[in-house]
Each structure stands twice: as structure tokens, then as C-alpha cells.
Amino acid sequence: MRKAVLGLLAGFLLLGTLGAAAELRFLGELTIPTETWTYGTMPVGEISGLAYNPDLGVYYGICDNRGKYPDEEGTAGRLYTLAIDFGCCGIYGVKVLGVTFLDSDPAAPGVQPYGPSEVDAEEVVLTPDGRLIISSERDLENRPWIRIFALDGVMLGEIPVPEVFMPGEGKGVRKNLAFEAMTITPDGNTLFVANEQALAQDGPTSTVDHGTTVRIIQYDLSGETPVEVAEYAYVTEPIFASPHDTYADNGVPAMLYVKHILPEYDLLVVERAYVSGVGNDIKVFGVKLAEADDVKDIEALPFPFPGKAVEKTLLLRISAIPEYSDIPVKPDNIEAICLGPVLPNGKPSLILASDNNYNPHQRNLFLAFEVLP
């Protein structure tokens, strides 16, 4: 049922481009075909975000199924608890330990599941006190949200979304291009959230000629009430190739706080491109926030962005065009990034995972790396 491909030769490649220090070492890959991965009668897939719980040795994978697919319950807002068999040569297996449904109504006791299309859950992070923060790209009115849940799925609270992101005439998040990326600091005091592509008032989406301007929100969670501290402009790369028909995109589906293990960067930011007839192109950037302008009080950003965007350094590229790729792996729809366990040599590990869209022509892909500070 599960096919592991261990990339042993590629494991000795130290990755780093554009003059960057080498910081990632590829350990291996695991592929689980779409049609073979089930939990009981429920198809498993569409993993859009991952969080690691080192105390329990398990992972939480958020599913962005909106309740439209013929699974066991047909229920949106599902969270998988996963066991990932991780070793020095990569990932040997992934097992589903359980499925939790998210609560849509904190006023009612227990879990009240979301109805069809009421949630498009995209990212999950684990707080130090054992709560889950989950972002949704859209509800029935295309509004994004960030909510706090207990491990059993019960909703505990909500983090306010700045008004500039709320959809309206010529403003706010574009449909299905909202909060894909989120990460938290190890102390739980700072949360970062990013939209996938530009707000309607911040300029166009990405093309083969230019990137798109994304906002990274920084929240302070240290007090009783979450407070927005800043917003930073992040400019993506142009789309890597021209489509064979009309569809192509590039945006930000995931990011990870890494300053505690890679002091030269604040975040790793993933850019995920897809070009019809060509395939995917995945880039991982090391990002510094220190010199970037705070744009939280600017309702509409000029395009091209004239100020100081965050500084980004390309660390890894995995491309459908082999000569562009740093490792010999055909990429898929990578939407998740998280830290894994500490390796036997004391170095941190990193996992990338794909959202298969329950598409038989796509796969559940897990990639393992060693982080080299």
C-alpha cells in the first residue's frame, strides 16, 4: 500500500543556491498513492498543514476537504493524528492513528461539525500548552478565519482577522487565496499568518512576468487577547513556465518559524507553483523580517511594491523541470512544512508534505530533510 523511495544518493547533496549557506540535506521521500490510503472506509488525503507534537511523538495533519467528496462522513474540517516512522534515511511509513472533527459552535457542548463548504481548513500549529490554532481560507461567504481548538476538536476561541483581509468590493482576500500559511514561535508568544496571493487591493496575482505581493501578519499572543503587531510585504517569484492551456499560479501555501535553529532567518517560506501541462515547482526560502517595512496601516499596497519587502534567500528548489531541481524527486502539490524529531546526530529534521486533492493522478508525498545550522 505504501511505496517508500529513499533518495539515498541524493541524501548526500547539500542544498543552497544564490550564494546561500548549505542548510538542508535531503534524506528521502515516501509516496502513498491516492487510491490506497484509507482510515476504515474514509479516504485519507488533502493534507494541507502539519504540526509535530514532540511530547507524544505524533503529528496533526489538517485536511482541507470542504465536505464535497464521497468519504465516510462527508464532513468538512477534519484533523488526522498521524504516526510518521522517521529515521536517518528518511520516512519509512505514515499511519493514521485517528480522525478528529473540528467544532463549529463554541456555545454548544461537544463538537458541532462544520457543514459542506463552511470551512476550508489549510494550516495547523500546536501551542506549548497543547492547543491547536487552525486557519481557514474561506467560509460560505469567502471570509477567512483563525480559530483555537482543543485536541479533541472543541473550539476554544478566535483570533481577530484585520479588516483589510475581509472580502468586499475590490478589497480583501481573493477566493481560495487566503490563509494557507501559518507558524508559531516555540514559546507560543508570536504567531505569523500569510495569505496565499495578493489581496484584491494589493495588486495582481502572479504571472510568468511578475510575482504577487503577500502580507505576513505578526500577532502577539502573550497577553489575554491576541494583538496584531505588524504586517510585512513578501513578494513571490514569477510563475516558472508558461502553461500549455490557460492555468498557472504561484503563491505561498506554508511557512515555518526557524530562528531558534537557523539564527540567520526568521522563517522558511514555501512557494508552490503549478503550470498546466508542465507540473509543480516548489521553492523554499529563508526569510528575514528585520529590515522590512511594517505595512499594517496601509490599506492598499502599490504594485510593484516600492518599499522594503522581507529579504528572502532561496534554499531549496524541487521542480517538474529536472534541470531546475536540487533533488531527484518529481514534486507534487506541496502545502505543508513542519519540524520533525531531532535526529540521532542531534540535528533537527524537516518534513514537507503534499495535498493530493483526492486526485488519482496526484499522490500523498512526504519529503524528509536534515537541517544544518
| CA-closest candidate to residue 289, choices 316, 269, 309 | 309
The CA-based diameter of the chain, rounded to the nearest angstrom, is 55
The residue ranges of every structural domain in the chain are: 61-324
Residues 327 and 7: beta-carbon distance below 8 Å = yes
Residue 140: Cβ within 10 Å count: 11
What are 125's three cell numbers?
Answer: 500549529
Q: How far apart are CA 121 and CA 79, in angstroms?
A: 9
Residues 53/341, Cβ–Cβ less than 8 Å: no
Q: Which residue has the cell 482576500?
A: 173
- Is this prediction's pTM over 0.75? yes
**304 cis-preceded (ω within 30 degrees of 0):** yes
pLDDT tens digits for range 288-330: 999 999 999 999 999 999 999 999 999 999 999 999 999 999 9
Distance, in Å, from the CA atom of 232 to the CA atom of 194, rounded to the nearest integer, reads 9
Report residue 310 as a C-alpha cell: 522581507
Task: Please write the tens of the pLDDT for every residue from 35-49.
Answer: 999 999 888 999 999
Residues ≥6 apart with Cβ < 8 Å to 78: 62, 63, 65, 99, 100, 101, 102, 121
Q: Which of 246, 243, 251 is nearest to 282 (CA)?
A: 251
Per-residue pLDDT of the chain (373 residues; tens, 9 = 90+): 344 433 433 443 444 433 344 489 999 999 999 999 999 988 899 999 999 999 999 999 999 988 865 543 468 999 999 999 998 889 999 999 999 999 999 999 999 999 988 999 999 999 999 999 999 999 999 999 999 999 999 999 999 999 999 999 999 999 999 999 999 999 999 999 999 999 999 999 999 999 999 999 999 999 999 999 999 999 999 999 999 888 999 999 999 999 999 999 999 999 999 999 999 999 999 999 999 999 999 999 999 999 999 999 999 999 999 999 999 999 999 999 999 999 999 999 999 999 999 999 999 999 999 999 8
Q: Chain-wide mean pLDDT for the chain?
A: 92
Q: Which residues of 177-188 are buried (b: 16+ CB within 10 A; e: fewer)?
A: bbbbbbbbbeeb
Query: d(Cα 164, Cα 172) in Å, to the nearest integer?
Result: 6
